[in-house]
Amino acid sequence: MRKVDLRKKLKHLYGPTAKEVVEVEVPEMRFLMVDGQGNPNTSEAFKDAVEALYALSYALKFAVKKEQGVDYGVMPLEGLWQTDGRQGSFEEIQGDKEAWKWTLMIMQPEWVGQELYERALVSVGRKKNLPGLRGIRFEAFREGRAAQVMHVGPFSEEGPTIEGVVAFVAERGGGMRGKHHEIYLNDFRRTAPERLKTVVRHPF
């Protein structure tokens, strides 16, 4: 059995410092993804998406371990966020939560292919009644050049962190593109707000 620590292997992407914003090059990776809209604090679709993503990710992990002899930890939940027409500022991100459009996703390692994904999707669907499974897709996603930093604390206090990312990009003469990206390094459903660790990223 071969054990692989994906977070350690990808530490430059999933474990940045909280002391300063840094530039990274984010390669193409494959993700389980679900799109939706609405307030993440009250939306049933958001809750269903999180549950389905984790259930399928763990099914894939155990299938890879059994069939390919590779043991790895499931990667953290990630979210792409935007509002219509405008992107990037904290005020827009924290505005009308019902207008938020989101894509929740979990990165899948190289051992997960299309055929394994399709088998696992059917298997999980038979075992569990998870409405969120219907919206899941498996596809490649590449951000390229991006700025990122670690935010420690409640989501409601991300303002200065996001503003720091925006300033970093401006100093380099870049323009914000794509979607606001967050990576949730601990489970926000079970972690005290002051202990949350979130990678805040934006491509430019």
The counts of H helices and E strands in the chain are: 6, 10
Nearest one of 203, 144, 199, 158 to 176, comparing CA atoms: 203
What's the pLDDT at 149? 98
Task: List the domain boundaries for the chain.
Answer: 2-42+74-108+139-203
- pLDDT at 176 exceeding the cut of 70: yes
Alpha-carbon span 52 to 47, nearest angstrom:
9
Nearest one of 130, 85, 86, 103 to 37, comparing CA atoms: 103
Mean pLDDT of 118-130: 96
What's the pLDDT at 94? 61
Alpha-carbon span 77 to 106, nearest angstrom:
5
What's the pLDDT at 88? 45
Joined together, the tokens standing for residue 199 give: 């990678």
% of the chain with per-residue pLDDT over 90: 87
Full-model pTM:
0.93
- pLDDT at 90 exceeding the cut of 60: no
Which position has the token pair 């792409």?
80
**Under CATH, domain 2-42+74-108+139-203 is a member of which superfamily?**
Regulatory factor, effector binding domain (3.20.80.10)
Which of the four pLDDT bands, split at 50, 70 and 90, describes residue 99?
confident
